[in-house]
Amino acid sequence: MTVRPSPRSANDIRVNPVAGALGADVDGVDLCRPLGTETAARIRRALLDHLVLFFRDQELTPDALLAVARQFGTPIEYPFVTGIEGYPEVIEVAKLEHERVNFGGIWHSDTTYLEAPPMGTLLLARQVPRAGGDTLFANMYLACKTLSEGMRAVLGGLTAINSSAKADASRTREDRVRSAPKDGADRELEAEHPVLRTHPETGRRALYVNVAHTVRFGGMTEAESAPLLGYLFRHLTKPEFTCRFQWRPGSLALWDNRAAQHNPINDYHGFRRIMHRVTLAGDRPR
């Protein structure tokens, strides 16, 4: 008879902040083992508190990665790239030795051009360069809170148009779309969301525009929108709003896409970086 290991106790988990703005290392949990209800609830609470969580030495198969993802939401397929064989919700995020542009290599929240963007993302490192390829994360609660009262009042009445076809972002998808295209990969997706969104679980307001996908404000032209959007794009990536994560094989990051942005640094030309990503279904921003 096979004896299944008991779930790790929530009391065994240690959550250690990595920066003043956001991010925490989670120690004392083996994600290959089933999480108990209390443990999963504590991890989710830590995610809401810290916006991005980092787990080390997690040797997860695709099945195990999806099992972890389902503890925190519903995995969904990425709209432009086919998942790995047998696992449509798991996509490979890769930069190969000959490539110069990395996938998603620009500050962004994932797929904000969808009517209901994902609530969260899991990214697992399979192969990483000896040095380089870190990921930056930024806290959009802080980006919102540190704006002036007058600016928040202005932004609170605005919506933003987000497009999948914005030039810099679509350029970073080209190699992945060529290698694993999905039906309709050449279509443009567009969605309109509040510039300041209210987090559905915490009730806190977060700045919800990003340089990768936001093209203009609702009811305005791109030219009219550009000066204020440019200011916001510079503001939201201030160093004091960020943390930085150095990957190792088996590292897993779980982040809250509703209140955090990320940017994978493209500083490892000539080396290979292979990651597996799962996104979790979200709701329409309000």
List average pLDDT for each run of 10 residues in the chain, which is 286 residues long.
Answer: 47 93 97 94 98 97 97 95 96 93 91 98 97 98 98 98 79 51 69 98 98 97 98 98 98 98 96 97 98
Q: Is 213 a catalytic residue?
A: no
Q: Supply the pLDDT for residue 173.
A: 44
Nearest to 71 by CA among 97, 30, 109, 43: 43
Q: Supply the pLDDT for residue 12.
A: 83
Q: Which residue has the tokens 């916001």?
A: 232
Q: Supply the pLDDT for residue 183.
A: 56
Q: How far is CA 232 from CA 43, 143, 194, 242, in A?
A: 31, 9, 14, 15
**Alpha carbon 153 to its chain's center:** 27
Q: Is 276 a catalytic residue?
A: no
Q: Per the residue annotation, which of 110, 175, 258, 276 is the catalytic one?
A: 110
Nearest to 211 by CA among 136, 138, 100, 109: 109
Q: Per the residue annotation, which of 44, 176, 216, 262 is the catalytic one?
A: 262
Do the bridges between strand 52-55 and strand 252-256 make them parallel or antiparallel, or are there none, so unpaired? antiparallel
Look at the domain 14-280 and name its fold: Double-stranded beta-helix (3.60.130)
Q: Supply the pLDDT for residue 3.
A: 40
**What residue segments make up the domains of the chain, in order of their start?**
14-280
Is residue 92 within 8 A of residue 84, CB to CB? The reply is yes
Q: Is 110 a catalytic residue?
A: yes
Number of other CB atoms surrounding residue 134 within 10 Å: 15
Q: Is 171 a catalytic residue?
A: no
